Amino acid sequence: MNPLLHRQQELDLLTAALDATGDGAAGGGSLTVVSGGIGLGKTALLRALPELAERRGIRVLTASGAPQEQALGFGVLSQLLAPLLPAAGSTVIAPGHPADSPAGSGQDAELLALVAEHAEHKPLLLLVDDLQWADAASLRWLARLAGRLPRLRVTLVAALREGDPGEEAPGLHHLTGRAVCLLRLRPLSIGATADLVGARLGRPVDRACARACHEATGGNPLLLTATLDALTAARPGAYEERLPDAQDIRGIRPDALRERLAVVLRGQRPPVWRFASALALLGEPPAPTEPTAPETTDGTDVTGTNRATGHTVYATPTAHDAATWHTGVAGQAGHAGHVGHVGVDGHPEVAGHAGVACPGGPAGAGGSVCPRAVGDPAATVYGGTAGAACAGADGETAYAADLLACWDVEASGEDPAARLAGLDAVGRAEAVRVLRRLGLLAEGAVPRFVHPVVADAVEEAMSPAEAEAARLRAALLLHQGGHPAERAAAQLLAVSSCGEPWAQEALRAAATAALRRTDPEAAVRYLRRALLLSPPDGAARADLLVELATIERDFAPRAALRHFTQALLLLPDPARRARVAGRIPPFLLADCPPATLDTVAGTAAALGDPADLTGADRQSALRLEARLRHAAVAGPAELDDSAARLRALGPVPPLDSAAGRERVTVLLHAAVLAQRVTAAQAVPLAERLLQHEPAAPGHVHTALPLLTDVLVAADSLASIGPWLHTAHDRARRDRATVPRALTAVELAHLALARGDLALARDHATEALDLGATDWAAPRALAAVFLAALEARDTTLCERLLSGSPPDPALGHLPSLRLLVRGCAAALRHDLPTALDCYLDWGRTAERAHWRNPAVAPWRSWASALHYRMGRPGQAHDLMDEEYERAVAWGSPVAIGRALRGRGAITGGERGLALLRDSAATLERSAHLLEQARTSLLLGRWLLTAGQEAEAEHRLTHAREQGLRCGAPWIADRAGRALHTIAGRQGADAVAALTRTERRVAALAARGTSNRAIAERLEVSARAVEKHLTHAYRKLRIDGRAELAPMAQLLSQESP
């Protein structure tokens, strides 16, 4: 990259100064000061001058200031004049000599004479970089030299970093006041930024990319270059196809630049450092929208005249055509006082002030006015004209009022950064001015760092203890000042300890705010920090644990269970413990540690029977009963007891409270599993329950998901579908991971009940992608297991077996893993293993009183395997029991499935009759997959029986249903059977063709055109069309496309 990109006009001005020195016979020298913030290219500009000077026969001498050598007298001067010093004799003062030595004045004269002598023989170019760090003695000598430059063939060019504390040195102001030209480098324009980015990336960039890079770095060449280098190093080749955007630029943090900025910031005066620290800790507020500054194509604008010297002052373009030089000398207590910067750089509404007298003292005698702000026609000098000092405290009052007006900061100190830094409005404005002059603040009314790396540099420069104390002060300030709660909480997240009550209050308020903007992860971060800062016991900690766990339920349920349990142990009151236990989702209690179940059971026992309670205690007792019954802690007999409890509630159980509805839902689900009710009895009650509940994502934290199981088993899907889709959409909108995953499981179950395997697989995959196997018990994922089985999806099966947690310790509950292993064995034709898995699962289900054949038709699966293994008797026993139970339950899908199983192992006309009954029964069901299975089996049996017409109808139906429900194996089998029928029918139809029709059809089947056929057979094209029409009718096809599969048959010679 060219470091002087778009700096040509500055080079032209410096070249003109060199030419004036080289051409003048007796003088023509001048002083040019190049100023600007960090990284704007001052050093690079100076480094370009030696080559230009040497072409003109000018000798170059260089020197550079350094912070470590600032106290050494004549340090810079010794560097600068080292090539000339051997001719000076032994009277030269060595570097490090006290700057106020009595010999200084005489030594200055000798050195001036030395320079003049050399300049007579050959013009000189003196380059001094980092002038702000020059020692006082060197500055004094350079100022004396500057006064003589018009009479010497010497050009002096010095670079000065704005905003550095060394800029305040009186000798520096005395020197810069003698400058003929002041060049202030400013950030690159958008056009220059585009050129720089293009040079770094090796390709042209568009205006959008250039603007993004300019906004992200403020047009600072050093920041932009370092960021682009770090960006390309971090992502090699990433920007060969696309250009970086603002997010890319602001997202990279160059390490080397951060360290350099940390040194610069730590070297600032305490008020500036404290304000920068406050900005870094508090974060940058959003900058207000401002009009874009008009771009300029030239490199330099003449912005005014130095009112102290009459010399021209130049500045490169920026968004503010404002004062470029704001210095002054304040009189103090009757003698020449120290220098203080006044005015706000870069803002036209604030004029630079000629000087401010210190309060309590008269105007300083001998106080002089240094270069005044330029470019502001309204600027005036407080307390007098140029050359006069300001008048005491009145000047200071006017200055402070002016700064307050500029920054629009209330005198009461409402700016958080200023309050945190301990600055009033004047101190804040001064700190802003310094940081802006350094180039570390972006343009705009609201102070914000030009790039996040600046804030990183501030934090790196802070000690851990300093950062801890500052963050605590910031948090308290923000909390007490009524600022958004999350700003205070952000500070508290970074501290190690704070036991003050206000800290917990701030963090809990921030959690509430995060929930309002649907960011539960942030809310949990705040509450977990509050938990760390809270006492280790007591009701207050328990409340905090409950608040945290209630939010964690939606995306960290295992942590929620742990925190609910901890809260239970901290609460001595049974009523309060019961209310907390009632918030634990039932799906978490299904396989929680036994100690947790014991705690919940003990809480329920301590609270008492719901029938003996009233009010909130009764509601808590009902919720606990629902959860404990769902977890089946009492063993297999629990289902029968729940069914009896449901009957005891009467034909129309009361549903007047949410807790009561939860209990009825669990009782109904138990009765359905145990088949103590019929489908006709279960559906009305389930739909009544559904009507009372809103379709909310939080339903997964209650017993309501059991209603999906009930309605699916009853083959009644009309009402549950829209309800679940609404809840799922809301869960996705709220970014509630757990509700979304569990609702996806319910939707997978619903899709399975409709026979839509593709949709069921999609919802099952969604649940697994959301991490359901990390926290949900296999029982809660039953629909995902069934989807994997029905869809024959080996990948889904492997994910379930490898990702889901182990089966619960309650051995009386059947293992869904066993079903998956059985299905996998059946698919690889390991029939004995598959049969053992199905029978083991069935025996466990029977012991648990899971009797309903609509829940898992294991008897149908085992019966089919018995029959295939030559055990028809055992197969019939299982299917007879399955059919009996299906009829007792009463749902069409259970009865139709059982009829198909019986027909498959019966055979003959009786078997065909059973299969026809199955098809007729399943027509009343929404289960498309079961319909396809029956149609396929019936069609194949009809084909074997020679009833081809009905077989073709059934098989065509099976193929269409198989494709619609996502079961390609069914469609393939039906297609093969149809091909057999077509082969038989085709041979008979071909035999019915005349010889000419057969020849024409055979040629057409091979793709021969009608005209070619006519030429080959020496007939007309119309005759060919007539023969094809007759052939289509006899072959029962629609056109030429259907002839292709019959090409071989048509080509055979007729008998």
Structure confidence by residue, pLDDT tens digits, 145-172: 999 999 899 999 999 998 888 888 888 8
Helix (H) or strand (E) holding 26: none
> Would you say residue 378 has pLDDT above 50?
no
- Higher per-residue pLDDT: 484 or 1039: 484
Closest CA to 30 of 130, 96, 124: 124
| pLDDT value at residue 774 | 87
| pLDDT value at residue 322 | 30
Q: Can you tell me the mean pLDDT for 403-429?
A: 66
| pLDDT value at residue 406 | 33
| Cβ count within 10 A of residue 594 | 11
State the maximum Cα–Cα separation within the chain, in Å, rounded to a whole number. 136
Closest CA to 41 of 11, 12, 80: 11
What is the spatial distance between Cα 576 and Cα 574, in angstroms, rounded to a whole number? 6
What is the spatial distance between Cα 911 and Cα 904, in angstroms, rounded to a whole number? 7
> Would you say residue 251 has pLDDT above 90?
no
Q: Can you tell me the mean pLDDT for 721-727?
A: 96
Question: 786-790, 812-816, 847-851, 905-909: which has the minimum mean pLDDT?
Answer: 812-816
Q: Can you tell me the mean pLDDT for 491-519?
A: 90
Q: By the 8 A CB rule, do 209 and 244 touch?
A: yes
CA dist 747 to 243, 754, 901, Å? 42, 11, 27
Closest CA to 96 of 143, 138, 148: 138
For residue 473 the two structure tokens come to 């002060």
Closest CA to 696 of 726, 721, 656: 726
Contacts of 103 (CB under 8 A, 6+ apart): 93, 97
| pLDDT value at residue 783 | 87
Report helix, strand or coil for 63.
strand
Give the pairing type, strands 181-184 and 30-36.
Answer: parallel
| pLDDT value at residue 823 | 83
Report helix, strand or coil for 156.
strand
What pLDDT band is residue 452 in, cutting at 50, 70 and 90? confident
> Would you say residue 474 has pLDDT above 50?
yes
What percent of the chain has a predicted confidence (pLDDT) above 70?
Answer: 82
What is the spatial distance between Cα 673 and Cα 41, in angstroms, rounded to a whole number? 80
Question: 19-28, 271-280, 676-685: which has the minimum mean pLDDT?
Answer: 19-28
Helix (H) or strand (E) holding 529: helix 520-533
> Would you say residue 527 has pLDDT above 80?
yes
What is the spatial distance between Cα 665 and Cα 690, in angstroms, rounded to a whole number? 10
Report helix, strand or coil for 947.
coil
Q: Can you tell me the mean pLDDT for 214-221?
A: 84
Q: Can you tell me the mean pLDDT for 409-413?
A: 38
Closest CA to 800 of 755, 765, 757: 765
Report the Cα 975 to chain-centroid distance in Å: 49
DSSP state of 290: -
Q: Which amino acid is at 975?
A: G
Q: Can you tell me the mean pLDDT for 709-719?
A: 94
Q: Can you tell me the mean pLDDT for 376-381?
A: 29
> Would you say residue 1049 has pLDDT above 90?
no
Q: Can you tell me the mean pLDDT for 348-366?
A: 32
Question: 238-252, 669-683, 967-981: which has the minimum mean pLDDT?
Answer: 238-252
> Would you say residue 950 has pLDDT above 60?
yes
- Higher per-residue pLDDT: 409 or 136: 136
Q: Can you tell me the mean pLDDT for 351-357?
A: 32
Concatenated DSSP letters for 158-169? Answer: EEEETT-GGGG-
Give the pairing type, strands 154-161 and 312-315.
Answer: unpaired
What pLDDT band is residue 984 in, cutting at 50, 70 and 90? low
What pLDDT band is residue 971 in, cutting at 50, 70 and 90? very high
Q: 31-35, 255-259, 415-419: which has the highest mean pLDDT?
A: 31-35
3-state helix, strand, coil in the chain (%, to 5): 60, 5, 35
What pLDDT band is residue 328 in, cutting at 50, 70 and 90? very low
What is the spatial distance between Cα 987 and Cα 504, in angstroms, rounded to a whole number? 87
Task: Number of helices (H) and strands (E) in the chain: give both, helices first.
Answer: 50, 7
> Would you say residue 631 has pLDDT above 90?
no
Helix (H) or strand (E) holding 383: none
Q: By the 8 A CB rule, do 260 and 461 touch?
A: no
Partners of 30 in beta bridges = 155
> Would you say residue 364 has pLDDT above 70?
no
What angle do the packed helices 658-673 and 637-648 form, to 10 degrees?
Answer: 130
Question: 391-405, 631-645, 722-736: which has the minimum mean pLDDT?
Answer: 391-405
What percent of the chain has a predicted confidence (pLDDT) above 90?
Answer: 41
Helix (H) or strand (E) holding 930: helix 928-944
- Taking only the tens place, the pLDDT of each residue in 65-98 is 988 888 888 889 989 998 887 654 444 555 555 5
Question: 70-79, 291-300, 762-771, 1033-1042: which has the minimum mean pLDDT?
Answer: 291-300
Q: Can you tell me the mean pLDDT for 569-581?
A: 93
What is the spatial distance between Cα 405 and Cα 349, in angstroms, rounded to a whole number? 9
> Would you say residue 99 has pLDDT above 60?
no
What is the spatial distance between Cα 591 and Cα 805, in angstroms, rounded to a whole number? 10
**Segments of 293-332 assigned E as strands:** 301-305, 312-315
| pLDDT value at residue 939 | 93
Give the pairing type, strands 181-184 and 312-315.
Answer: parallel
> Would you say residue 551 has pLDDT above 50?
yes
For residue 517 the two structure tokens come to 């903007």
| pLDDT value at residue 95 | 54
For residue 798 the two structure tokens come to 């492997």
For residue 565 the two structure tokens come to 């349990």
What is the spatial distance between Cα 163 and Cα 984, in angstroms, rounded to a whole number? 97
For residue 904 the two structure tokens come to 């498959």
Q: By the 8 A CB rule, do 66 and 133 touch?
A: yes
What is the spatial distance between Cα 669 and Cα 552, in angstroms, rounded to a whole number? 27
What is the spatial distance between Cα 65 and Cα 653, in angstroms, rounded to a whole number? 91
Report helix, strand or coil for 138.
helix
pTM of the entire structure? 0.68
* CA angle (696, 698, 700) in 5-degree steps: 110
Concatenated DSSP letters for 538-603? Answer: SHHHHHHHHHHHHHHTTT-HHHHHHHHHHHHHH---HHHHHHHHTTS-HHHHTT--HHHHHHHHHH
What pLDDT band is residue 507 in, cutting at 50, 70 and 90? very high
Q: Residue 60: what are its φ and ψ, rounded to 5°?
A: -115, 130
Average pLDDT along the chain = 81
| pLDDT value at residue 983 | 65
- Taking only the tens place, the pLDDT of each residue in 7-52 is 888 888 999 888 888 765 567 889 999 999 888 889 999 999 999 9
Closest CA to 789 of 754, 818, 750, 829: 818
- Taking only the tens place, the pLDDT of each residue in 729-784 is 999 998 899 999 999 999 999 999 999 999 999 999 999 999 998 888 888 888 88
CB burial readout 155-165, b (16+ within 10 A) else e: bbbbbbbbbbe
| pLDDT value at residue 804 | 62
DSSP alpha helix (H) spans, 754-871: 757-769, 772-775, 782-791, 794-803, 816-827, 831-847, 858-868
> Would you say residue 576 has pLDDT above 80?
yes
